[in-house]
Structure 1
Amino acid sequence: MTYTVNCSIILTELPLLERPAAVKAAGYDAVEFWWPFSEAVPSDGEVDAFVNAVQDADVQLTGLNFFAGNMGGGDRGLVSWVGREDEFADNIDVVVGIGERLGTKAFNALYGNRLEGVDPQAQDDLAVKNLAAAGRAVAKIGGIVLLEPVSGMDTYPLKTAADALAIIERVKDEEGVDNVKLLADYYHLAVNGDDVPAVIAAHAADFGHIQIADAPGRGEPGTGDLPLDDWIADARAGGYAGVIGLEYKPTQADPFAWTRA
């Protein structure tokens, strides 16, 4: 299992529940999703339909995001969102339930944007508490929580690997929770101006997950100028043994043609 296909950004021309089967038909056996529901706590029927779609397709759900708010409206997570603590806590229970049913081990917690009129320190302190709670919960099913630098949102405070690692270190030091790991999305790191080779050299063995897209444009590998193959190889050499998440915006009818070239 080398690649896992992010079905929230690839195959979007299909209804969401049809995408796992389309991934399998394309020759891949692993998928990941952003939060696939409109609410933090969907109905039992919605959860069952999602779980069944993954199981019926005979693919492995390798990764799932926690609820991140209204992504289309610009939200980027509840982890640091003062005032929505109960919503995040309730979502943790649903995430763990899905993970337990599908054997999922990696869960991406988007940090959240800076809030106008709220002390950034208060947001960061809440984030440490929420990440620790999530880490403890997913540890019960052998899971890890992923924390990701993100590009494209000025109000999202984690832009470099160092930004995320500083929070991860706080979670470990202050809460004693050590299963929060860096999600190294090479596209986001590169677009934000981070030194990706240096990040790989220093931290590859501790990456919780890698995702890829090319830049500029966030298309599939080969549409931009990032040395993605080299960066993946360097991470492997540095100790990363996990799957590679395909999280790009396809530019052609066959979104996986580059893997067969």
Structure 2
Amino acid sequence: MTHHILKSLCLALALMPVAARAEDAPSHCARESVYDAPFVICRFDQSADIRLFLTAPDGEAFGHFERLEETLNTDGETLVFAMNGGMYHEDRTPVGLYIEDGEQAQQLMTREGPGNFGMLPNGVFYIDASGAHVLQSLAYRTLAPEAIYATQSGPMLIIDGEYHPSLNPAGTSLKRRNGVGVNEETGEVIFVISDTFVNFHTFARVFRDHLGTPNALYLDGTISRVYAPELSRNEQGLRMGPIIGVVEALEFKEDHQ
């Protein structure tokens, strides 16, 4: 646990009775070995408060999980999970569509281009009044949902139950990767990050064959990071752009002992 998180928790405990015990919270994340590779898989239902974050109160990108957690604490909230949430430019502005709290900061991009983002079809992870969804970008444009939060990335990993056509089982590009899918039957929103270097096809296979998500989106590789305090994971590195976070209210209870 970092100095910033400890400082925030100490402040909260000084002002309130006693924080709810960590063991009272449900478990969302687990380390799993899938197809002989290690992954962290985090599952949330549609009632979870899933948001996108980019800009801190001072106008700069949050950049790090600790800074986001610290800001949420001042508002009486806590960060229970986070992951880098899509590709970004050098100045940390998102590549492609980005919507935060109903405000659109970047437009949808549907043209082919270089890099993973331009390997069409790419897609959008978005949240509207009905919950969280993953949809390829052209379908998103046609549907035009009233998204509260949205981030565009690419490529799509799984499209209506099928692999992205460019994914090769023998692909030699090996990276640490992270992504998101939604299981339409269970309603689970599932975030995955590899704990070793894997190719695109293996990563996509986890979503389709292990997790049963008919649509899944690649978020990034190389800078992939996760914040999962229940697993003692708060990964460090260069400043990030968009962050996907799951938020809960800070809860306190009286200690009569």
Q: Same fold (TM over 0.5)?
A: no
TM-score (ref. length: structure 2): 0.29
Greater share of strand: 2
Structure with bigger gyration radius? 2
